[in-house]
Amino acid sequence: MSKLVYLVPLFPLLGFLINGLGRKSMSKSLIGIVGSGSILASFVVSLLIFFDVKATGGSVVTLFNFIKVDSFTIPFAFQVDQLSSLFLLIITGIGFLIHLYSSAYMHEEEPQHFGRYFAYLNLFVFSMLLLVLGANYVIMFIGWEGVGLCSYLLIGFWFKNDNYNYAAKKAFVMNRIGDLGFLLALFWLLLKLGTASYGDVFANVSKLSSFDITAITMLLFVGAMGKSAQIPLYTWLPDAMAGPTPVSALIHAATMVTAGIYMIARSNILYTMAPATQTLVAVIGLATAIFAATIALKQNDIKKVLAYSTVSQLGYMFLGLGVGAYTGAVFHVMTHAFFKALLFLAAGSVIHAMHHEQDIRKMGGLKKYLPITHITFLLGCLAIAGIPPFSGFFSKDEILTAAFAQNPLYYFIGVAGALMTAFYMFRLYTLTFLGQFRGTHEQEHHLHESPWQMTFPLIVLAILSVVGGWVGIPEVFAEHAHSLEHFLAPIFAESAKLAEQHHLSASQEYLMMGASTAAIVVVILLAINSYKKYQASDEAAASGLGKVLENKWYIDELYDAVVVNPLHSIAGFFKNIIEKSGIDGLVNGVGKLVGYGSRQLRLVQSGQVGNYILIMVLCMVVFFLIWFNDATIVRFISKLF
């Protein structure tokens, strides 16, 4: 079955071509069928590949040579193993549900823009599939750049709005910063080992010095910081909410932002041999988790809260990678895909019902109008908050337990972030669904549940958010219970041999789970009690720390002052002084000189014969002066007289 792996990215690519080329002539229904059907076909093939890998193990499928120069070869090959097959299911499964949801959410668009949207969406999934399937860093980088391009196209999908275009440009530029790090690491590997294939790199890693390994992993991490929105390259992700809500769900749950996690998990041997880089990954991840959570506490845009939540949850994934809990990080990618896709799509259902209103202060009481959206959103909140037995509990607990074994300080800071997560998510839930409706009478009159194309994905994702974590039940509850860990064991086997193992006693794990869960429940009740009777008139203008958090710690303003404005000033100098006054001045000056001379010369053509005879005589005199030297002129004059 692995031989047919090329079909997985091929179907979305065909969907992109069909919808992209035929968007002006195809109906919306046909566009939706092609766009969604291509991803469903990929999911079916991915499912068959997953069971084949589970039964027989992994393999490398080479399609052709992408680059071949003398003895240097970069094959266009796919890595079909436990890690890639798991990501295939996440990408195509969640991707199909988002495509189906989009067929109703985007139905108001004109047919050609509807087709353009689905073409971009298919290309996005194709690029992510190429990224996770590539058997070497070059193919991964092609997919890496592809998802960056598609994010730009989809964030700026409504391109008539300049603010959306700015958000798309911001995402594109900030990702290029990270991509430079990836590219430098790739060149470093090619220089030192002459190959970029995973098998060859990991088999010959002993040929690299400790400095090489540290430098390569640091540079790869720079790429991961850009794609997966970590400090300091995280500010593009909240602005990415400018795109349609299903796009936000796809970026946050199944594609782009998980790319950095996948890349480091795939490169786990390199990172295990670079303890300094691992420490940096853990510290940056933990700092991002806490920092983004503090911002989410005071955001009022329903999508912005979820966006900063994603940044925070990605921080936990990097914390897991940094402490060597590779399985835990990948596990959290999976569970996060379930509940974050659910939360974004449920938020889209709310926005759809509220006629594009996104301010949660103007909502409230939607529980009775949107029953399916309400219950699914609540389940998503419980999952992300880490309440057992929901999926987020098991994956986040695994990361925090590994962090405690590595450094207890990591654990306590991580728990503080989890408590903030519970608070801002249930603040969001309470302000949106509980209490009295605070919108306009016209909005209230038109409130209704979304169509089945939107509610069906919500129900499926809600079920996955509840039971999806059961594949990773910790072994403290039952021996050999963590089936996902056993499935991924071949991928992380070498790292497990090299890393120092830290194990906690069963009593410690029970105590930590119970204490953190109890604290989270208290925080949830506090959030609900604080906001269930909320009225917009009761809210005073934010001040002090609250104002700082509302303004996102003024990081965007800091970047503008330190980076953007100086660059604009430098660009203005080159534009006005160097280009316009210098280069343009020189080029235009030559043209002006020629024009001036021509205007003066044409005055000679006066039409008066006397003037022409005078000019002719003067020209003859000049001619004689040029062609006869002084002696010749003297002899000529003496002969005349």
Q: How confident is the model at residue 475 (pLDDT cuts 50, 70, 90)?
A: confident
Whether 546 is covered by a domain: the verdict is no
- Domain termination residue (choose one: 117, 135, 153): 135
Whether 358 is covered by a domain: the verdict is yes
> pLDDT for 17-76, tens place per residue?
999 999 999 999 999 999 999 999 999 999 999 999 999 988 999 999 999 888 888 999
Whether 225 is covered by a domain: the verdict is yes
Partners of 72 in beta bridges:
69
CB of 390 within 8 A of CB of 396? no
Whether 496 is covered by a domain: the verdict is yes
- Domain termination residue (choose one: 492, 521, 540): 540
> pLDDT for 163-193, tens place per residue?
999 999 999 999 999 999 999 999 999 999 9
Whether 447 is covered by a domain: the verdict is yes
Whether 163 is covered by a domain: the verdict is no
424 versus 575: the higher-pLDDT residue is 424
* Same domain assignment for residues 489 and 560: no
- CB burial of 254-278 (b: ≥16 within 10 Å; e: otherwise) equals bbbbbbbbbbbbbbbbbbbbbeebb
CB of 156 within 8 A of CB of 165? yes
> pLDDT for 343-373, tens place per residue?
999 999 999 999 888 999 999 899 999 999 9
Q: For residues 247-260, give the mean pLDDT.
A: 90
Q: Is the pLDDT of residue 632 over 80?
A: no
* Same domain assignment for residues 114 and 201: no
**What is residue 359's DSSP assignment?**
B
* Same domain assignment for residues 297 and 437: yes
Q: Is the pLDDT of residue 631 over 60?
A: no
Number of domains in the chain: 4
> pLDDT for 570-587, tens place per residue?
988 888 888 888 888 888
Looking at every residue in the chain, the average pLDDT score rounds to 91
Whether 155 is covered by a domain: the verdict is no
**How many CB atoms are located within 10 Å of the residue 125 CB?**
32
87 versus 617: the higher-pLDDT residue is 87
Q: DSSP of 333-351, one letter per residue?
A: HHHHHHHHHHHHHHHHHHH
Q: Please state, in angstroms and rounded to a whole number, the distance separating the CA atoms of residues 291 and 167.
A: 21
**How many CB atoms are located within 10 Å of the residue 370 CB?**
24
* Same domain assignment for residues 489 and 624: no
C-alpha torsion angle, residues 163, 164, 168, 174 (rounded to 10): 40
In the chain, pLDDT over 70 holds for what percent of residues? Answer: 96
* Same domain assignment for residues 86 and 208: no
Q: Is the pLDDT of residue 383 over 90?
A: yes
* Same domain assignment for residues 359 and 390: yes
- Sort 402 into a burial class: Cβ within 10 Å, 0-12 / 13-18 / 19+: buried
> In which residue are the tokens 């259902």 written?
349
* Same domain assignment for residues 595 and 618: no
Q: Please state, in angstroms and rounded to a whole number, the distance separating the CA atoms of residues 52 and 49.
A: 5
Q: Is the pLDDT of residue 630 over 70?
A: no
* Same domain assignment for residues 78 and 183: no
In the chain, pLDDT over 90 holds for what percent of residues? Answer: 71
Whether 158 is covered by a domain: the verdict is no
What pLDDT score was predicted for residue 640?
Answer: 58
- Domain termination residue (choose one: 116, 135, 154): 135
Q: Point out the least confidently predicted range of 100-104, 250-254, 417-421, 459-463.
A: 250-254
* Same domain assignment for residues 270 and 350: yes
> pLDDT for 517-554, tens place per residue?
999 999 999 999 999 888 876 666 667 888 899 989 99
By residue range, what is the domain housing residue 567? Answer: 551-603
What pLDDT score was predicted for residue 482?
Answer: 81
480 versus 288: the higher-pLDDT residue is 288
* Same domain assignment for residues 129 and 223: no
CB of 130 within 8 A of CB of 10? no
* Same domain assignment for residues 79 and 220: no
* Same domain assignment for residues 535 and 584: no
Q: For residues 469-475, give the mean pLDDT.
A: 87
